[in-house]
Amino acid sequence: MKLVVMIPAFNEERSIGSVIKGAPRKIRGIDSVEVLVIDDGSTDATAKLSRDAGADRVVSLGRNTGLGFAFKTGVKSALEMGADIAVIIDGDGQFDPADIKEIIQPVLRGEADMVTCSRFLDKDVISKWPWHKRFGNSVFTKVVNYITKSNFTDTQCGFRAYSRESLKNLTIYGSFNCAQETFLDLSRKNYRIREMAFKVKYDDKRKSRVAGNLFKYGMMVTINLIRTLRDYGPLTFFGTAGLSVFLAGVISGLYILTYNIRTGMAFPHLKFTVLTGVLLITGFQLIILALLADMLGRQRKLMEEIYYRQGELMERKK
């Protein structure tokens, strides 16, 4: 049983060494532990200090690509390294690497496929958060819970453990921040997800790599929110819009029809007559688009299943 500790890092030369050295190398039930650092285009000595601190493998990306792409690179590398369990932990020292031996236990016992730290279970940590981080996390968590019909408390945390099977079958697209995508994708595929509480060191003086710029963070949260709803609930996303627009057209049409019956003419509501036609046609098109998007979503699930099965066959041949 091999555990691979993935540490995505961008300009973390001051903390990366302590995180790597703090990762437990001996855990009951684990035969070997290896540390994988994904250097996301750092301009400081993060990569060198990672090797000096004992990282077993350092993957350096040519430029800063974002946490999502770094995570995908880490997943690919961890699977190549033969990971049976993989843990992702931030390189800034926010989480205690000693807790790695605890967060993997539900996966090790076969009780969960993904275990994530929830910062909302510790009220002392949340009280120190800036309002925009609390707001963004709250919005995304509610959306994820709505789509997955779950009751998660924190869908943005960067300290998680995954089983090998869940990583092999994980499909994500985002390059900015893929945290909520992992919840949605694994929940949709019926993998078991569990939350656990751990101590978090929050430094209010440190600028977040993800939410450092308030305006940029707000824009990215909004864009990701729309994409999330579109990709994981296309029938609801387009269907709700289509039905709303079509219903508005029906109401407008009934009003004009009633006016025409009472007066015998459409004028002065000629503009409303044109608007009614536009609303009805647009609403109908959106409903058709919803059905087509739902069909494409089913095809996507089928293709993911095919790729997963092909990967399993290739592993068995090796």
Average pLDDT, integer, range 90-101: 93
Hey, which residues does 4 pair with through a beta bridge? 34, 86
The pLDDT value given to residue 195: 94
Phi, psi at residue 145, to the nearest 5°? -65, -40
DSSP 77: H
pLDDT digits (tens, 9 = 90+) for 136-194: 778 888 888 888 888 898 888 889 999 999 999 888 776 556 777 888 889 888 999 99
What is the pTM for the complete model shown? 0.78
**More confident: 205 or 228:** 228
Residue ranges of alpha helices (H) inside 56-175 are 67-80, 100-103, 105-108, 123-126, 131-148, 164-168
pLDDT of residue 33: 96
Q: Is residue 200 scored above 90 in pLDDT? A: no
What is the mean predicted confidence (pLDDT) over 204-231? 66
Whether the ω angle into residue 268 lies within 30 degrees of 0, i.e. cis, is: yes
| Residue 146 pLDDT | 84
CA 191 to chain CA centroid, Å, is: 15
Which of 79-83, 128-132, 210-214, 216-220 has the least mean pLDDT?
Answer: 210-214
Determine the average pLDDT of the residues in 39-60: 94
d(CA 281, CA 284): 5
Task: Place 123 in a pLDDT band, splitting at 50, 70 and 90.
Answer: low
Least confident stretch, 26-30, 73-77, 305-309: 305-309
pLDDT, mean over the chain: 85
Each residue of 247-286: pLDDT tens digit?
A: 999 998 888 888 888 887 766 667 778 888 999 999 999 9
Specify the pLDDT at position 257: 84
Residue 175 pLDDT: 55
> What pLDDT band is residue 126 in, cutting at 50, 70 and 90?
low
